[in-house]
């Protein structure tokens, strides 16, 4: 089973904190879409009809800038070139302010069955700071419109640890999100990424990031509020109502195969633990389109993963998410995880940071709070 990812590299305005590849000038959109369809058909020649893809994810950038006709042409191409499961999870990332009821209905009728809104905050001042294009009211209205359009699997993205954010302000945003009854919430701590305007604002001391202790406190508040409101945590930053985990992201965390299309998209293909490769496309629309018009794949770099690297990734990804399935892990890597890491595992279980049940070795809520240091101790 695998996943397909499509990167749509356009945004109306670049957000101050964002380091995803996207551009504000949309003049190249037509050329990009032609190149994307060509890339899909070239890549597909390498894969067999036996390779079944169970999720498709439109990310970016802002995929909701695509017209329904444009989206339809991409979906048709994916379905014609790959074996996509009949009941595949098809997610589209959308920004409030870029869709109306008619567009949402069209997306739904084309088979998109999961929608993910980049809401980020329910405070106008925070949205302004993040340079989001939408208002709080627009976010609420768009979520409600998507229900009218027939979406019954909906994610809201939120951010915490914004500069000057208080516990009270975060709780307000979380509670506003709960009021909209989403099936899924992703809550990410604001990261100051290099090469972003925010990085320079921090460097020039115009913006002060929250101290790490406050970040940890706000994360704890997030976990507590999610639990109180019936959201099950299944990854460090992801929470859902029962049965509504993101299959696409879970595939990434389970080390399943995925193919990415579009500028900056990454792909991963594992035959077995001795044979796995990762590669990624140019982070530049001109280079991407030029390569494809010259009949070559727009790959900028690739790496062959060693068994040791795969093992480390399996541990890291497993601990971040739903845990490590012990029997299959032991079989794949040829040793018993409890024997090899006995002192670590015993210590974390005693400290209530880790648990073992139903053949899964996974972190507890407290464990998620120190996930990185636990993972590092295994490496």
Give the nearer residue to ligand SF4 in terms of CB position, either 3 or 22: 22
Give the nearer residue to ligand SF4 in terms of CB position, either 197 or 209: 197
Cross-strand pairs, 299: 281
Residue 20 CB, shortest distance to ligand SF4, in Å, is 4
Residue 22 CB, shortest distance to ligand SF4, in Å, is 5
**With contact defined as beta carbons under 8 Å apart, do 298 and 282 qualify?**
yes
Q: Cα(97)–Cα(181) distance, rounded to whole angstroms?
A: 20
Give the nearer residue to ligand SF4 in terms of CB position, either 20 or 378: 20
Listed residue (10, 115, 28, 120) closest to 66, CA to CA: 10
Residue 241 CB, shortest distance to ligand SF4, in Å, is 24
Give the nearer residue to ligand SF4 in terms of CB position, either 111 or 209: 209
* Tokens found for residue 309: 């690297």
Phi, then psi, of 257 in degrees rounded to 5? -75, 145
Residue 23 CB, shortest distance to ligand SF4, in Å, is 10
Residue 273 CB, shortest distance to ligand SF4, in Å, is 34
Give the nearer residue to ligand SF4 in terms of CB position, either 34 or 131: 131
Residue 61 CB, shortest distance to ligand SF4, in Å, is 5
Residues that bind ligand SF4 (CB under 6 A): 11, 14-15, 18, 20, 22, 60-62, 95, 118
Q: What DSSP character marks residue 360? A: E
Give the nearer residue to ligand SF4 in terms of CB position, either 22 or 81: 22
Q: Cα(314)–Cα(324) distance, rounded to whole angstroms?
A: 8
Residue 98 CB, shortest distance to ligand SF4, in Å, is 9
What burial letters (b/e) apply to 1-35, b meaning 16+ CB within 10 Å? ebbbbbbbbbbeeebbbbebbbbeeeebbebbbeb
Q: Are strands 154-160 and 232-235 parallel, antiparallel or unpaired?
A: unpaired
Q: Cα(71)–Cα(92) distance, rounded to whole angstroms?
A: 10
Give the nearer residue to ligand SF4 in terms of CB position, either 134 or 245: 134
The Cβ of residue 207 has, within 10 Å, a number of other Cβ atoms equal to 18
């Amino acid at each position: 089973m695998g996943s397909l990812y499509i990167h749509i590299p356009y945004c109306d305005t670049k957000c101050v904190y964002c380091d995803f590849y996207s551009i504000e000038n949309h003049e190249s959109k037509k050329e990009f879409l032609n190149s994307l369809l060509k890339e899909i058909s070239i890549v597909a020649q390498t894969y067999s009809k036996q390779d079944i893809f169970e999720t498709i994810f439109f990310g970016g950038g802002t995929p909701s800038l695509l017209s329904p006709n444009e989206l339809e042409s991409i979906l048709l191409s994916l379905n014609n070139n790959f074996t996509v499961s009949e009941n595949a999870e098809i997610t589209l990332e959308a920004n409030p302010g870029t869709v109306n009821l008619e567009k949402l209905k069209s997306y739904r009728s084309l088979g998109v069955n999961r929608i993910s809104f980049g809401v980020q905050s329910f405070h106008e001042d925070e949205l302004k700071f993040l340079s989001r294009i939408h208002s709080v009211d627009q976010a609420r209205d768009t979520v409600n419109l998507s229900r009218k359009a027939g979406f019954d699997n909906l994610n809201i993205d939120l951010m915490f640890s914004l500069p000057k954010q208080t516990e009270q302000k975060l709780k307000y945003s979380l509670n506003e999100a709960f009021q909209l009854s989403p099936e899924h919430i992703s809550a990410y701590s604001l990261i100051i990424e290099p090469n972003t305007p925010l990085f320079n604002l921090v460097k020039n001391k115009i913006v002060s990031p929250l101290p790490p202790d406050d970040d940890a406190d706000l994360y704890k508040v997030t976990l507590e509020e999610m639990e109180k409101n019936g959201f099950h945590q299944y990854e460090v930053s992801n929470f859902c109502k029962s049965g509504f985990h993101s299959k696409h992201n879970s595939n990434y965390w389970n080390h399943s195969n995925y193919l990415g299309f579009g500028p900056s998209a990454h792909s991963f293909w594992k035959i077995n633990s001795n044979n796995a490769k990762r590669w990624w496309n140019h982070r530049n629309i001109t280079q991407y389109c030029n390569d494809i018009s010259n009949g070559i794949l727009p790959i900028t770099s690739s790496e062959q993963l060693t068994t040791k690297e795969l093992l480390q990734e399996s541990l890291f990804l497993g601990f971040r998410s739903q845990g490590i399935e012990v029997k299959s892990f032991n079989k794949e890597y040829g040793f018993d995880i409890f024997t090899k890491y006995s002192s670590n595992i015993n210590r974390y279980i005693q400290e209530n940071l880790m648990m073992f049940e139903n053949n899964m070795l996974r972190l507890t809520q407290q464990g998620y709070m120190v996930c990185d240091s636990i993972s590092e101790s295994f490496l």
